[in-house]
Structures are given as C-alpha cells and as structure tokens.
Chains A and B, each alone.
Chain A
Amino acid sequence: MNTTQHSEVILRRTLIATAVASILLAAACTTAPVKPDGAAEARVKLTQLQSDPNLASRAAVAIKDADAAVRAAEQPEVNKELAAHRVYLADRKVDTAKALAETRLAEDQRAAITAERDSARLDARTHEADAAKGQAATARAEGAEQKVAADQARSDANTAQLAAASSEQQAAELQRQIDVLQAKPTDRGLVLTLGDVLFTSGRADLKPGATGNLNKLVAFLDKYPDRSVSIQGYTDSVGSEDYNQGLSERRANSVKSYLAGQGIGSTRLSASGKGRNDPVADNDSAAGRQQNRRVEVVISNPPAALR
C-alpha cells in the first residue's frame, strides 16, 4: 500500500465516522415536528389580547415580546424540559403584556373620569344655587351658628345703645324692623346678608320671585328715610379674580337698580364689588363657598339720632 492509497483509506474512514456522528446527532436532538403541550393555549390567549381593541394598541412592545415567546414555544422540541420551559415563558409573557395593557387602559380612562367629575361639580354648584333659594334662611342660620353668641351680645349692646339714645318705643319698633329684615347690627351698621339665592349661578340679573327679602328692605328704607345703604357683592374663590370681581360688581348693581326701581332715592344707594375678598366662611367646602357667595346690604346708622 503506497502513501496515496493509505491517505484515501483514512479519508474514507473519516467520512464514514462523520456520517455516523451526524446520524447520532440527528437522533439525539430531533424527532418528528409536533408542537409542545401548552403552546396552543398560549397562542389562544395571545390572539385574544391582540384582537381586543381596548388593549391591543396599549402595550405594543410587550405584545411583540409575547408573540416572539409564543412562536419559540411553538417550535417542535424533543427536549421536553426545554419545550415546557419555553411554554412557561410564553404563558407568563402573554399575561404580563395583558396586565400592562390593562394598566395603560385604566390610565387613559382617567381623563374621562375627571371630565365626569368636573361636570358633576358644575351640576352640583348649579343645584346648590337653585336649592339655596328655598334654604337661604336655614343656611344662613346654620352658617352663623358659631357667631350667634357674639352677634347676640353685639345685638344686645346695640339695642341698649339704641334704647339709650332714643325713646324706648322707637327702639322697640326699630328692633322689630331689624328682626323682620334678619339684619345683623355690626360696627359698619346693620348688615343684611342676601345669599346667592337671588341669582342664577354665574349670572347677575335678579331671579324673578327672589325679591321677597329685598321688598322688606324697601319697606324698611321707606320707614327710615335718614338711612342710606351700601350694597356689596361677594363671591367665593372659584374662578379668576377678574371674573369674580366683575360678577360681584354686577350683582351689587343689580340689587341697587332694583331698590332704585322701587323708589329708593339713588343718592341713598351705593354699590360695589368685593370679589372673593373678606370671606365669611371656608372656601374649601361647598357649604362655605355658598356662604361666601352673597350680597351684603349695609344699612348705615343714622348720623346722630339713634347713637
């Protein structure tokens, strides 16, 4: 056997050995192509997620990852442990993508819920104003609860002053008139607080039928012609300062026009807007804001007569 023949024999043997090795490898690592158990279920869940219009677009990256994991799980695999592992990963990734999409959906829905809340708040404010029409007296009494004692003391002092300065009878009559008006004696004079009952929310024109208390004021002013009134509009802190200032002025002017229209001389009337200033209650609560939305009519004490 020469060298060439010897080499050929070795080569042939090597080729045979390689072929055997290849067969062994093939036998070791592949069999007939069958999708692993569980892969189909993962695919079904993924397809459901992908076809859900609320979720499919909300976790695009995670869904793409899940899709790749499901495709890997669907590969035929003779190694049962590896196949089960891939199915496990695919299943969890689909669930993860779904949960992430649900998170985004919930976040996106918040804008709508917020809009709903704003609309409910607006309705509530409108209703508040409407409901207050019939409840103004009660609300005022409730709101003033803490001040009742102080007011009573001041009232007593004022009454005493009045009694000292004029006849017993005059004072009693004035007090009766004040009681009718539900005005409160203060350092500024008698203050008659008109709740926001006179006006539709956001508007400055007087509501028809809301003028009962104003007519009592007209009667009072007719009886005591030496007294003049200063009409002051107030708002709560909701909305811009400019808006509230303007609204409070227009409301004060509405009351002034009404009184002038009822025959009170315009020289006895002045109107001004205070906007959100000098709140009488906390603006953080609906009840507090309602108390702050008001028109105060300050009836001046007469120059000297009753002092």
Chain B
Amino acid sequence: MALGFTGVLLLAACASTPPAPTANLQAAQQAIAAAERSEAARYAPGELSEAHTKLALADTAVTERKMVVAEHFADQSRAEAELASAKTSAAKANAVNDEMKRSNGTLIDEMKRGSGDKP
C-alpha cells in the first residue's frame, strides 16, 4: 500500500502526459502569419525560417506524444516569429528615415548647385 502511494506521487511529479499544447501551437502559427504579413521574409528571413523550423519540430513532438517538448518548441517558434516581426518593423522604420534623409540631402545638394551657378 505504501509503495503504491509512493508510485502515484512519483508519477504525478515527473511522468504525467499532458494534452497536446494546442493553444501554444496556434499562438506560434499566428505569430508566423503576422510576421509574414509584415514582409519578414524580406527583412528578417533568418528568424522567420527558424520560427518555421521550430513549429515543425513542435508538430513532430506532438506526433511522438512528447507534449512538454512540443510546448517548448511551440513557444520558441512564437518568440522567434515575434522577433522576426520586430526586426522587420525596425528595418522598415529605418528605411523610411534613410529615404527621408537622402531626399533632404538631394534638396541641399540642389540648393548648393543652384547657388554655385550664381555669377
């Protein structure tokens, strides 16, 4: 009886099989979709590809009933996709600024050229 009790405790502590981490997998898929909508493939291809890889690993783990591992991969996939989105927005914002600065430079150059023509 005592041994049985101990066994239950051990099982409860370390060997329980949780259900598939559906919510985590969905969150990862949504984060990847959001990153792709924001053109992450162009601005953060490494991160986006890593997010896809992690999601595939999570799906494989689910089929192998390794639900804790699956949950971890799903969460990693989501974190990677969110990083891809953040890097994309930073790259776009900087590109806009660079373009604005470039056009300012052109304006100033034109002005200098104009005054240079002055007799």
Which residue numbers of A lie inside 8 Å of B, CB to CB?
13-14, 16-18, 20-21, 24-25, 28-29, 62, 81-82, 85, 88-89, 92-93, 95-97, 99-100, 102-103, 106-107, 109-110, 113-114, 116-117, 120-121, 123-124, 127-128, 130-131, 133-135, 286
* Interface pairs A-B: 4 shortest CB-CB: A17-B2, A106-B93, A99-B86, A92-B79
Q: Which of B3, B110, B114 has the most CB of A within 10 A?
A: B114
Q: When A25-B10, A102-B94, A107-B93 are in contact, do A113 and B101 touch as well, CB less than 8 Å?
A: yes
B103 close to chain A: CB less than 8 A: yes
**Pick from A24, A25, A89, A124: contact of B110, CB under 8 Å:** A124
Please state if A103 and B10 are interface contacts (CB–CB under 8 Å).
Answer: no
Whose C-beta in chain B lies nearest to the C-beta of A62? B86
- Please name all residues of chain A whose beta carbon is closer than 8 Å to the beta carbon of B3 when the two chains form the complex: 17
Q: Is there contact, CB below 8 Å, between A131 and B83?
A: no
Contact of B118 (CB < 8 Å), options: A14, A24, A81, A134: A134
In the bound complex, CA of A16 to CA of B111 (Å): 91
Instruction: Give 23 CB contacts A-B under 8 Å.
Output: A14-B5, A16-B2, A17-B5, A20-B6, A21-B5, A29-B13, A82-B72, A85-B76, A88-B76, A89-B79, A96-B83, A100-B89, A102-B93, A102-B94, A103-B89, A103-B90, A110-B100, A113-B100, A114-B100, A117-B104, A117-B107, A120-B104, A124-B111
Contact B86 A106 (CB under 8 A): no
B33 within 8 A of A: no
B97 near A109 with CB under 8 A, answer: yes
With both chains docked as a complex, state the minimum distance between the C-beta of A195 and any C-beta of chain B, in angstroms: 14
For B95, the closest partner residue in chain A by CB is: A106
Name which of A14, A92, A102, A133 has the most chain B CB atoms within 10 A of its CB. Answer: A92
Contact yes or no, A99 B87, CB < 8 A:
yes
Residues of A within 8 A of B23 (CB): none
With both beta carbons as reference points, the residue of chain B lying nearest to A28 in the complex is identified as: B14
B78 to chain A, nearest CB (A): 9
A81 touching B6 in the complex, CB below 8 Å, given contacts A102-B90, A106-B94: no
Chain A binding surface SS class: helix
Complex: A107 Cα to B69 Cα, angstroms: 39
A120 to B101, CA, bound (A): 11
Interface size class of B (residues with CB under 8 A): 35 or more
- Chain B residues numbered 31-84 whose CB sits less than 8 Å from any CB in chain A: 69, 72, 75-76, 79-80, 82-83
In Å, the complex CA distance between A107 and B94 comes to: 8
Do A92 and B13 have beta carbons less than 8 Å apart? no
Task: Name the contact of B69 in the complex, choosing from A81, A95, A116, A123 (C-beta under 8 A).
Answer: A81
Q: Of A13, A96, A106, A135, which one neighbours B117 at CB under 8 angstroms?
A: A135
Chain B residues with CB under 8 A of A93:
79
Residues of A within 8 A of B90 (CB): 99-100, 102-103, 106
Q: What chain B residues lie within 8 Å of A286 (beta carbons)?
A: 110
B115 within 8 Å of A by Cβ? yes
What chain A residues lie within 8 Å of B76 (beta carbons)? Answer: 85, 88-89, 92
Contacts A25-B13, A99-B90 hold; do A116 and B104 have CB atoms under 8 A apart? yes
Contacting residues, chain A, for B14 (C-beta < 8 A): 28-29
What residues of chain B lie closer than 8 Å to A88, measured between beta carbons?
A: 76, 79
Which residue of B94, B104, B117 contacts A131 across the interface (Cβ within 8 Å)?
A: B117
- Do the beta carbons of B6 and A128 come within 8 Å of each other? no
Chain A proximity of B58: nearest CB distance (Å): 12
Min Cβ gap B117→A in Å is 6
Q: Is B19 an interface residue (CB 8 A)?
A: no
Q: How far is the CA of A131 from the CA of B6 in the complex (A)?
A: 95
Find chain A residues with CB under 8 A from B114 CB: 124, 127-128, 131
Residue of A nearest to B82 (CB): A96
Q: Closest A-chain residue to B97, C-beta based? A: A106
Contact status of A117 and B100, CB under 8 A, knowing A81-B72, A96-B83, A100-B86 = yes
Given A81-B72, A99-B86, verify A120-B108 contact (CB < 8 Å).
yes
